[in-house]
Structure 1
Amino acid sequence: MGNHRMALIVLTLALCQFPQPGDAQLQQNYYANTCPNVENIVREVVTKKFKQTFVTVPAVLRLFFHDCFVNGCDASVIVASTADNTAEKDHPDNLSLAGDGFDTVIKAKAAVDAVSQCRNKVSCADILAIATRDVVALSGGPSYEVELGRLDGLSSTAASVTGNLPQPEFNLDQLTAMFGKNGLSQEDMIALSAAHTLGFSHCGKFAKRIYSFSQQSSVDPTLNQSYVVQLQSMCPKVVDSRIAIDMDPITPRTFDNQYYKNLQHGMGLFTSDQVLFTDPRSKPAVNFWAASPSAFQRAFVSAITKLGRVGVKTGSDGNIRQDCAIFN
Structure 2
Amino acid sequence: MAFHSHALFSLLTLVFLIPTLTVTHAQLSENYYEQTCPKFHETVHHVVVEKQIATPTTAAAVLRLFFHDCVLEGCDASLLIASNSFNKAERDAEINAAIPGDGFDIITRIKTALELQCPGIVSCSDILAAAARNLINMVGGPHYTLLFGRKDGLVSRADRTEGHYAKASMTVSELINLFASINLSVQDLVALSGAHTIGFSHCSEFANRIFKFSPTSEIDPALNRIYAEGLRKLCANHTTNPGMSAFNDVMTPGKFDNLYFQNLQRGLGLLATDHALGTDPRTKPFVDLYATNQAKFFEDFAQAIQRVSLMNVKTGKQGEVRRRCDAFNDLKT
Assess same fold via TM > 0.5: yes
8 A contact 1:26–1:150 mirrored in 2: yes
Q: Which has the higher helix share?
A: 1
Q: How does 1:63-102 map to 2 (within 5 A)?
A: 63-102=65-104
Q: How does 1:84-233 map to 2 (within 5 A)?
A: 84-115=86-117, 118-215=118-215, 217-233=217-233
Q: Given the superposition, is the C-alpha separation of residues 180 and 38 from structure 1 closer, same or farther in structure 2, using an over 3 Å criterion?
A: farther
State the partner residue of 1:3: none
User: Any unmatched runs of 5+ in structure 2?
Assistant: 1-15
User: Any unmatched runs of 5+ in structure 1?
Assistant: 1-13
Segment drifting more, 204-213 vs 317-326: 204-213
State the partner residue of 1:51: 53
SS in 2 for 1:93: coil
Larger Rg: 1
CA shift for structure 1 position 61: 0.6
Residue 305 of structure 2 corresponds to residue 304 of structure 1:
yes
Give the partner amino acid of 2:270: L
Task: Work out the CA distance in 2 between the residues paired with 1:182 and 1:22.
Answer: 18
State the partner residue of 1:6: none
Task: Work out the CA distance in 1 between the residues paired with 2:238 and 2:306.
Answer: 41
8 A contact 1:184–1:307 mirrored in 2: no
**What do the CA deviations read for 1:193-244 (whole angstroms, capped 9, x no partner)?**
1111111111111101111334454432322222211111111165421211
Q: Given the superposition, is the C-alpha separation of residues 182 and 92 from structure 1 closer, same or farther in structure 2, using an over 3 Å criterion?
A: same
Task: Work out the CA distance in 2 between the residues paired with 1:221 and 1:311.
Answer: 42
- Structure 2 counterpart of 1:31, from 23, 30, 33: 33
Structure-2-length-normalised TM-score: 0.89
Counting aligned pairs with the same residue, the percent is: 42
Structure-1-length-normalised TM-score: 0.90
CA shift for structure 1 position 283: 0.7
8 A contact 2:17–2:310 mirrored in 1: no
Task: Work out the CA distance in 2 between the residues paired with 1:188 and 1:27.
Answer: 24
RMSD of equivalent CA atoms: 1.9
Task: Work out the CA distance in 2 between the residues paired with 1:244 and 1:154.
Answer: 34
8 A contact 2:278–2:287 mirrored in 1: yes
SS in 2 for 1:298: helix
Aligned length: 313
State the partner residue of 1:248: 249
Q: Which has the higher contact order (CA 8 A, sep 6+)?
A: 2
Task: Work out the CA distance in 1 between the residues paired with 2:314 and 2:214.
Answer: 44
SS in 2 for 1:222: coil
Segment drifting more, 172-181 vs 250-259: 172-181
**What do the CA deviations read for 1:62-115 (whole angstroms, capped 9, x no partner)?**
100110111111100010000010000111111110111001011101111111
